[in-house]
Amino acid sequence: MLFDINKITIQQLSSLGTENIKVSTLRTDLIHPIVSGNKWFKLRFYLEEAKRLKCNTIASFGGAYSNHIVALAAACKINGFKSVGFIRGEMNNSPSLQEAKALGMQLHFISRDAYKYKEVVMQEFAHNEWFWINEGGYGINGALGAATILTDKDCSSFSHIICACGTGTMLAGLVIGSNENQLVTGISVLKNNIGLNDMVTALLPLQKNKSFTTIHDYHFGGYAKHPAELIDYMNQLFKREQVPTDIVYTSKLFYATEQLIKQQYFNPNSNILIIHSGGLQGNRSLAPRSLVF
Ligand SMILES: *Cc1c(COP(=O)(O)O)cnc(C)c1O
């Protein structure tokens, strides 16, 4: 079996906590070494819908290092769908795309200009038996799937849940899946991600008008930017807690959480759960030996 949800654990992180703040992480990265973390949760209900609609092929969009593309290729293979990935930019043989190809995905490279007009691509390739998923799995089914991140292990006693945000689909899911005593915070990994709150709100059911917070100060220069300071932090965190993180999402999340604790952002007696959303396959784009794990 490719994804093993039973491998998820809650790990306490004593070096991040203080006298009166507890910190733990939900290790969804453990479900698979390459196809790790939140993407599997975001995809699960799309796959069910595709099955219901009797589609035999699932198509989506992504960059050459996309966790979403690799996870989609794997999920389709396991569930008997064909998969097609529309990849931004010229032909590229990144480790992620090699993996996707090995998992049976058919790849189409499209120019950065054409990529801006996804509807045109979708029209050009329109096919009755194709089911399309938005880039990054953004959408209501993605959020409902992400809500189930909190159901495998008992997460009900945490006061705060904090996660990394790209499209905000996972954040919306965690808002949906959390209880009324829990505060949900998202750390944006994109620069100028001004539309994020609206993107999240658009995925929440009207009766779930629960508030959430997004923080925009920890993108380290922008999406996938990983200055030496961030790599140092990843190595140092691993030495302290044996938690591997990725350069795009989770390293920025853990760093941000530590900084916020130091700035006394959280009330005393907070019990914080950091969602480790995986993404470790993306580290394969680094030079060898950059990381100690
Ligand atoms: C995609 C991804 C995210 C962001 O998820 P969104 O739902 O797009 O906000 C966070 N962490 C990892 C590891 C991811 O791959």
pLDDT digits (tens, 9 = 90+) for 130-188: 999 999 999 999 999 999 999 999 999 999 999 999 999 999 999 999 999 999 999 99
Q: Mind listing the pLDDT tens digit for each residue in 278-293?
A: 999 999 989 999 999 9
Tell me: do 15 and 156 sit in the same domain: yes
Ligand 1 pocket test: which of 165, 187, 277, 284 has the largest number of ligand atoms within 8 Å of its C-beta?
A: 277
Cβ(253) to ligand 1 under 6 A?
no
Tell me: do 261 and 230 sit in the same domain: yes
CB environment 107-127: b (16+ within 10 A), e (fewer):
bebbeeeebeebeebeeeeee
Q: How far is the CA of 261 from the centre of ligand 1 (A)?
A: 22
The atom number, within ligand 1, closest to the CA of 146 reads 7
Kindly state the percentage of the chain with pLDDT values over 90. 92
**In terms of pTM, does the model score above 0.85?**
yes
The atom number, within ligand 1, closest to the CA of 165 reads 9
- The pLDDT, as a whole number, for residue 1 is 45
- Whether 291 is covered by a domain: the verdict is no
Domain of residue 65 covers 39-137
Tell which of 137, 160, 187 closes a domain: 137
- The pLDDT, as a whole number, for residue 35 is 78
Tell me: do 118 and 146 sit in the same domain: no
Place of tokens 């992504």: 62
- The CA-to-CA distance between both ends of the chain, in Å, stands at 25
The atom number, within ligand 1, closest to the CA of 42 reads 7
Kindly state the percentage of the chain with pLDDT values over 70. 99
Tell which of 89, 116, 137 closes a domain: 137
Cβ(25) to ligand 1 under 6 A?
no
The total domain count for the chain is: 2
Tell which of 111, 137, 163 closes a domain: 137
Q: Mind listing the pLDDT tens digit for each residue in 228-245?
A: 999 999 999 999 999 999
Q: Is the pLDDT of residue 208 over 90?
A: no
- Whether 290 is covered by a domain: the verdict is no
Q: How far is the CA of 19 from the centre of ligand 1 (A)?
A: 31
Place of tokens 């194709």: 130
**Which whole number is the average pLDDT over 85-108?**
95
- Whether 159 is covered by a domain: the verdict is yes
Tell me: do 133 and 148 sit in the same domain: no
